[in-house]
Structure 1
Amino acid sequence: MGQSVLVIGATRGLGAALVKQYASQASTHIYATTRRDKRPEGGFPENVKWLTGVDLMDSSVGDALVTGIKAQSEGPLDVLIINAGRFMLEDFSAERGPSWDDQVTMYTTSSIAPTLIVHRLTHAGLLRHASAGTTGGSKIVLVSSEAGSITLRHEKEGGGNYGHHASKAALNMAGKLLAIDLKERGVIVSIIHPGFMRTEMTKGVGFDKHWDEGGAVTPDEAAKSLVEWTQNLTLEHSGQYWAPRGPRDIGMAETVLGKGLSTPLQLPW
């Protein structure tokens, strides 16, 4: 019997790579979202079932997902990966200080919408339940970032980028709370840093200059690690914050946490 997987935020970067990897598995039914009103053209396998017009800035995004999934799905999801996120540069200068509108966008996309989505999918019967302490419940993967770790923030990296970092920290807390609320249903909530990636998003904020020295990987490489991580998830991981690829691309990992760090690496909040 195959599994059903939904990737939210699926048209570029890590999301697109995840969709293609899951679509290559003959036994997997893969659902994917796009903000546009039609499926992306080219580059994706034909067996991907697209949910169009899904915008995490829309307060009714949870209802839109419920409607779209029920129209295409035969049952609850086995895996839900919420990958959508926004990164808008901010610093403390007079010219480009913190932006109200940009921060609202980042918080809404990264931490508010995921909470509402999980709530709506749960109560619509679209997440698989199991008895507490047993296997068989859905696996939820919240794609966060090491940027959301307060412990790992170090003066060597400087300040700024308030909305990006803080919205990921908020997602981490939301994931922890969701794990507590979903424990009795046997649903796993895993919060992960997928790795520093060579994507249009990191290039768009000027981080491509750090790709080589920072050990940035392609979205395909990060997706492979994430798929393997998700496959091996257990209830023991629920509510925890991990870097499946370890410390290799986390600049302050050894400075803050010391040498000899393991892979995968459990991250500090």
Structure 2
Amino acid sequence: MQSVLITGANRGLGLGMVKYLLKQNKAEKIFATCRSPSEELQKLLQDNKNLHVIQLDVKNTDKFEEVALQISRVVGDNGLNLLINNAGVTTKYTKINLVKPEQLLENLAVNTIAPIILTKTLLPLLKKASEANSDKPVGIERAAVINMSSVLGSIAQNDQGGFYPYRCSKAALNAATKSMSIDLKKDQILVASMHPGWVKTDMGGNKAPLDVATSINGIFDTIYKLREEDSGKFLQYDGTELPW
């Protein structure tokens, strides 16, 4: 894989993805976006010439074109092979009598609107990668979009209620993933939703059963195996298909 862009890369899963790709030497060019680089990400930047950190608040969609230009200057006609829409926010468990409009709006802006508009903005670069790698099967070695979702976005598996802002935003992201997979099929661009598991991060909390490394290893083991018939699926980090 020549190039990958990961949003929300300053901590948690996003940072774990960057570290995995660098350690495994899995990508020639890694673009990592974040609102403010953490010390760990800055250290990685200093030690790795193939890592490019781009400051971005994904709620600021007006900056997406500028991001696309920065990436284009580096990748040229090779385009962008893989977009991982990872940046996300969540609220605490929210019952119907406590949910607030601002919580719903923030979750929707970061978890749903940003991935859709960023994918739209980077589509010309994804198409370039697909065309440049037309000798390869559909997948991340050619061109792909992975939307980091959550099992809490599954309507079929919702048996606890609550979590209105997060559940609704991730269910909407899953709907967008399905539409993207249909719209981008003609361009041979794979699109899938990925549930990373319940992971020990700032978002997941200390009670989560999975550590970051286990989740990341599973995610990349799974997405490297994805082929054309997997486009439009909702998958767990270990490859298990989840119900919408």
Give the TM-score normalised by structure 1.
0.79
1:64 Cα deviation from its structure 2 partner: 2.8
Q: Matched residues in 2 for 1:27 and 1:151: separation?
A: 35
Alignment match, 1:41: 42
Name which one, 1 or 2, has greater alpha-carbon Rg. Answer: 1
Tell me the SS of whatever aligns to 1:31. strand
1:93 Cα deviation from its structure 2 partner: 6.8
Pairwise CA RMSD of aligned residues? 2.4
1:126 Cα deviation from its structure 2 partner: 6.2
Alignment match, 2:30: 30
**Which of the pair is proportionally richer in helix?**
2
Q: Does 1:224 align with 2:210?
A: no
Alignment CA distance shift 1:61-1:225 (3 Å): farther
For residues 27-51 of structure 1, the C-alpha deviation after alignment (integer angstroms, 9 at most, x for no partner) is 6221111112798433564235334
Alignment match, 2:204: 202
Q: Which runs of 4+ in 1 moved over 4 A?
A: 124-127
Alignment match, 1:146: 151
For residues 74-98 of structure 1, the C-alpha deviation after alignment (integer angstroms, 9 at most, x for no partner) is 331111111111011252375xx11
Q: Does 1:268 align with 2:223?
A: no
Code of the aligned partner of 1:25: Q
Alignment CA distance shift 1:71-1:239 (3 Å): same
Tell me the SS of whatever aligns to 1:265. coil
Unaligned runs of 5+ in 1: 246-263
Tell me the SS of whatever aligns to 2:84. strand
Tell me the SS of whatever aligns to 1:52. strand
The percentage of aligned residue pairs carrying the same residue is: 27
Q: Matched residues in 1 for 2:36 and 2:73: separation?
A: 18
Alignment CA distance shift 1:199-1:85 (3 Å): same
1:125 Cα deviation from its structure 2 partner: 5.8
1:50-89 paired onto structure 2 within 5 Å: 50-74=52-76, 75-89=78-92
Kindly indicate whether the alpha-carbon contact (under 8 Å) linking 1:188 and 1:238 is maintained by their aligned counterparts in 2.
yes
1:61 Cα deviation from its structure 2 partner: 3.8
Q: Matched residues in 1 for 2:231 and 2:187: separation?
A: 12
Unaligned runs of 5+ in 2: none
Q: Matched residues in 1 for 2:25 and 2:155: separation?
A: 41
1:1-269 paired onto structure 2 within 5 Å: 2-26=1-25, 28=27, 29-36=29-36, 40-42=41-43, 45-74=47-76, 75-92=78-95, 97-123=98-124, 128-130=129-131, 135=138, 137-154=142-159, 157=160, 159-203=161-205, 208=206, 210-211=207-208, 216-245=209-238, 264-269=239-244
Kindly indicate whether the alpha-carbon contact (under 8 Å) linking 1:76 and 1:128 is maintained by their aligned counterparts in 2.
yes
